[in-house]
Amino acid sequence: MLKRLFQYFLQGLIILAPIIITIYAVTALFNFIDNILPASLGRVFPHWGVDQNGNPLKIPGIGFVILIITVVFVGYISSSFIVGRLVDLFDTILERTPGIKIIYSTVKDFFEAFAGNKRKFDKAVLVSVQDKEVWQIGFITGQDLEHFGLEDHVAVYIPKAYAFTGELYFLKKDRVRILPNISSAEAMKFAISGGVTEIED
């Protein structure tokens, strides 16, 4: 009886845990984004838009919607010639400012690697790092390593299971296999999950 109850508990945990964790993560992200606008307005206008306790007034969802619309609007107007030149100028200033350029360029490169014009995580590969018969999933992030004195090498990023961190390796090209039939998204999901997810055809 206890063994059967324990099996039911595990089955229920398998069903509920992913749902609860997903809802929690989405809700936490939504609340974080939704609170950005009221908190910012509270700092700029400390006597405007606050309740009797001094806390920023907010309508749930308004901050989220306004922020998303703002991001889309900035993306839209950045394609125009004049605004594009202003963005490039601002970008140049930030990348040449001591101290700030390290943070700015690192964050910019990170976002562009996933979604920008300089996408890097779009070539899923199998790599042999530790042993010639042991393979890991990785992503080619650099083809030209001549400035490191490694003409016949490529840069490969290998994500870690159950984390969004990873390690960068410089490997000889003969220890890297392209995965032409697996998308980069499926490969990333498979690697992060520790290999427990299924590859969709």
pLDDT digits (tens, 9 = 90+) for 138-147: 888 777 777 7
Does position 51 have pLDDT exceeding 80, yes or no?
no
Distance CA 108, CA 90 (A): 13
| CA-to-CA dists, residue 190 to 17, 86, 125, 155, angstroms | 19, 41, 12, 20
Number of domains in the chain: 1
Tens-digit pLDDT profile for residues 74-93 = 878 877 777 778 877 887 88
High-pLDDT (> 70) share of the chain, %:
80
For 55, the token pair is 């806390």
Q: Lowest-pLDDT range, 8-17, 40-49, 141-150, 164-173?
A: 40-49
Residue 33 domain-assigned (yes or no): no
pTM: 0.55
Structure confidence at residue 170 as a pLDDT band (50, 70, 90): confident
What 3-state DSSP class applies to 21?
A: helix
In a domain, 172, yes or no: yes
Q: Is residue 160 part of a domain?
A: yes
CA distance 45 to 171: 54
Question: Is residue 139 included in any domain, yes or no?
Answer: yes
Average pLDDT of the residues in 23-51: 74
In a domain, 20, yes or no: no
Q: Flag whether 13 is in a domain.
A: no
- Calculate the alpha carbon distances from 187 to 31, 53, 158 in Å: 30, 50, 11
Is 18's pLDDT higher than 80? no
* Helix H or strand E encompassing 120: none
Report the distance separating Cα 62 and Cα 49, nearest Å: 14
Domain encompassing residue 137: 124-192
Q: Is residue 108 part of a domain?
A: no
Residue 28 placed within a domain: no
